[in-house]
Amino acid sequence: MKQILVTGGCGFIGRYVTEELLQEGYSVRILDSFIDQVHGDSAAAVPAGVDLIRADVRDKGAVKEALNDIDGVIHLAAEVGVGQSMYEIARYVGGNDLGTAVLLEAMIDTPIKRIVVASSMSVYGEGLYQSQDGTNSASSRRRSADIKAGRWDLTAPDGTRLTPVETDEQKPVDLASIYALTKYAQERAVLIFGEAYGVDAVALRLFNVFGPGQALSNPYTGVLANFASRLINGQPPMIFEDGQQKRDFVHVRDVARAFRLALEQRSAAGHVINVGSGNAYAIADVATMLANAMGVPHLSPDIMNKARSGDIRNCFADISKARELLGFEPRFRLEDSLDELADWVRQAQAVDRGAEMKRQLEERGLVS
């Protein structure tokens, strides 16, 4: 399997996936529509030797052309953003779910052996929790009344606080946003297709991906990129709730390697697999760490004490399955990678649109 199509291959993750594949001797074709919100003017970022088709994944003719002589597909093309998905619903459902449907339909008459799709940790909703007696609580969700009252943490029916623990793939999904709904539809469509047509299909549930090259001017992208954009413009990082919510941050180079391994490891076929670092970080701590790395420790986080619709409190990855099926082991810890990120941010151009994002959500009643 040497000829790989990467949809969305000029996006943040796609560029690293393409680089990983090229380094391992694969030939790569990219299908990408170059959405302004994600790319800006980044057409020059296409690696040398890559065959580029500039088109939307919903364009049936372009997709059929892109699949010609292809052995495997990495499907990254998607609209990304929990908050924005809550009001640009047709855009997200169209780009993510219809786009995946067009791709799969075009694959029916091809000899393609494997497809790997990018899913998201957002499908879990809240992560896994334990009660004080050690019992797992896999379907916990906050009440809107508690959120509006600033009671951020989840509690058991008896009022005792639940403790967040690593989330594995056995945790039932709990779709709290339109974005999560579309990512779950993508992964299920790919796995159903694979089983029906004898194509090896793998879905990787990505946690919070970070690294140089993320779209700094897109306020709906990763939280570290948002923080960096604020800091480089002399503004404090904007944090919803109280900043103690925990997330798992995984370096984009580790993610790229996971996609390549998912193409190669036959044992992964038919599986949904977490891709994270296996570590949990409080968001306010991450903002402070990045401010220190960027040399602006005086820019303390702006804690909003408000919640966005669709946000969850805690979710971080159990990556045992990735270790078992992919031979995956994270190599880049967040603590050791922020200097590299800060160096890149200083050389990049970033328009801070955080306030604009907040205004758009507030105008629609999506912040409480």
In this structure, how many other beta carbons lie within 10 angstroms of the beta carbon of residue 66?
24
> Is 179 designated active site?
yes
- Considering 179, 184, 220, 281, which one is annotated as catalytic? 179
Q: Is 140 helix (H, G, I), strand (E, B) or coil?
A: coil
Give the Å distances, CA to CA, from 223 to 69, 286, 291. 38, 9, 13
Which residue type, as a one-letter code, is found at position 122? S
The set of residues, in sequence order, having a beta carbon less than 8 Å from that of 290 and lying 6+ positions away, is: 224, 227, 228, 231, 237, 338, 341, 342
Rounded distance, CA 178 to CA 288, Å? 30
DSSP string, 84-137: HHTT-HHHHIIIIIIHHHHHHHHHTTS---EEEEEEEGGGGSS--EE-TTS-EE
Residues designated as active site: 179
